[in-house]
Structure 1
Amino acid sequence: MGDKAIRVRLGIMMFLQFFIWGAWYVTLGTYLSQTLNFDPAQIGRSYSAIPWGAVIAPFIVGMIADRFFAAQKVMAFLHLTGGVILMYASTVTDPSLMFWVLLVYAVCYNPTLGLANAISFGKLNDPEKQFPAIRVCGTVGWIVAGLLVGFMKVEAQHVPIQIAGGSSLLLGMLSLFLPDTPPKSLGHKVTVADVLGLETLKLMKNRSFAVFVSGSLLICIPLAFYYNFANMFLNDVGVVNAAGKMTLGQMSEFIFMIIMPFFFARLGVKKMLLLGMLCWVVRYVFFALGNAESMVWMFYGGILLHGICYDFFFVTGQIYVDNTAPKAIQAQAQGFIAFITYGVGMVIGANLSGEAVKYFTVEEIINWRAVWLFPAILSGVILLLFAAVFKEGETVGER
């Protein structure tokens, strides 16, 4: 198989990988609220299944997939299983059952994110130059999913979940035709410490790294408000085709990913992290103060800030970890940060966001201004603490 043919297959894989996620995840809250009449706390718990999957997923890849099976075969099995689960999820109406069904799905889906990267890196001749073009296909997939759901006007229906389920079944079948990627840890004993990246804990002796980890955990708590309730909020206040408009965030992410080196060279890690945090505060303030009549630009502004919010914090954080951790444990360190942020932080945030929205709901009317001011204040406090703990002139991300 030629190099170009391999890259085409990898691009299709990455497109579907994120098309699946973007098709159902963004609009889930709207569907659960408007159609199934879940209360906000139940919606928050349903969303918490996804980060719980991120907590459990490393054990599947690290202790099973990496040791016994080729990555593309594990990918096929997980997506085929996940597709069936999503189809079933589209028929579930009980809040408790919905959480458990989504948790099982999350355990299937989360490992495929790492597997998709592993398959790509394993077959590219020049990963540093070639992988960005493969990965951007995932961003395009997410955008197309949002535009499709918005165009079909099915945000409050079970259809997006079925679209994701069908796409997962398709990717499961296509995965069998991906390049062979043998288990990388065949014959080697993999421990729990390896999977969780516990060697990374030794880096906590470095004051800057400890502050970075703590700040990353804390900031992911208010972040969950956007991921879980933004689509529901925009639909509730009368924004037409909210799912389609929210894809502007991914378009912004794509643009800022391209120009990140310009800012990185001039601002450095610490200032970029702080700027990323600040933009989360501004985004929530925009949502709190905007309205669909005269101040709708604030909604668009909050969505477009996603590029800075995500790239300047998460991507910069990944670069920081790569610069800080010794080469022998760089992969473990990245896994540890993902566990702390996408796992622990988002689990706490998903449940807190649901309880907060429920608290600010009176007679089924949500006080969205109060809802968004809550994470804005929380993000602001975390930002100030993160900035204050560094001594004047102290740098972050330099060995």
Structure 2
Amino acid sequence: MAGQRNARLACLIALVAVLVLGNLANYAAPDMNYGWDVRVNCAAVEAHVDGLDPYYVKNLKGTRFSYPYLPATLDAFRPLCAGGFLVDHRRGVFLAIAVLCSLLLPGIGRTRSLRDVALRGLYVLGAFVGFEWVLASGNFAILGGGLTAAALALLLRPAKPDDRHDVPRMAGAALLGIVMSFKLVFCPVLAALYFLPLPRRRKLVLMTVAGLGFALPILVSVVFYPGLFSSWLLAITGGIPGQHSVQIEETNPSLLLWAQTIVDRVGLADSKPLVFAIYALAASALVLAPLGWSLLRAIRNNEGSLPARLDRWLIDHPQAAMRITVLAMYGLYLCSPRLKEYAFFELAVYAAVLIVDLPAAALAAVLTIGVAVPTLVSITGVTIEGGFVQLAVALMCFWILLLDFRAEPERLEQKAVRP
């Protein structure tokens, strides 16, 4: 029976891999309609080098989109855009970074194996068709994904009792904070660091370091690029007339836009408080409350105050604690009010850490729902832009991962293999 189940799972994995590789092959041929984001970003870098304000679209060559990142990134991205190499060879570079993500991503209480690396790579490349959007648009979310994978590798290290000066883990926290500063709306993800299996003081130190990492690019932008920082604020708030800006009405497959869609259909399109109320209710009901209830259920037999019970349980169950840390990052990222199509690539990076430990049935469900279904939708030519396919499959995968945690929160402790 176990042999048949493993054979069926192997066939499913092979089928999913063929679908993903076939879908990505569609983007192998040169097409000037692709790569618009990387051209915008590098045009902004070039405008800055030429002494022009890159936050005014009129100063960017060949684009109608605005540059969304903080002024500090203009010089940080300059080596990437030098000589036009990234614009001309983004497909190969982006694919290499995505594969690197699967190599960097850590296991939780497991020795590294070829099977785990291959599964992570398959999920990073195919889950929620996030990488497809990154590849098509040339978005710098690829950098966020790579840095996130590196940060998780540093953060999810086995804790040691005498490891009080944990430089690698602090570097991981700082790196994660810097990644969150790329798109400020994702900063709540940093709160998930509290679930690491460490004493409370050390977790608070890590959260502080992460907060400083998040604030650093903002402070650098304010101090060293004051004029450009003012332009950046105008650009992202719609203060520059006649050009693209970030607004609540902007199309993106997030819970916030889903709430806006509901309000529009009942004829209350101008009721922003109602939109945010429905958004908050949906995020709580679909993600945050189930996550919190699962944690409360896990620590119900411990004694003491709620924070003390939680801290004790996390330390006593380090593998499950690291799993719930990544699951919380996944959930908080999923609740973002501006979850663009390409951002699902970074979401897949978090999920890829978790899937390798799933039982066969749960793994098959996650691969089918998270990878095969959206890939088939893409292959058939049905556009997912402006819809909620990515959001729906990401939510279903979150529930599968959470239900597995609730069913067997101590499974990793029992089967953990210490490196």
User: Do the two structures share a fold, i.e. TM-score over 0.5?
Assistant: no
Mark the structure with the bigger radius of gyration. Answer: 2
Q: TM-score, normalised by structure 1?
A: 0.31
Q: TM-score, normalised by structure 2?
A: 0.30
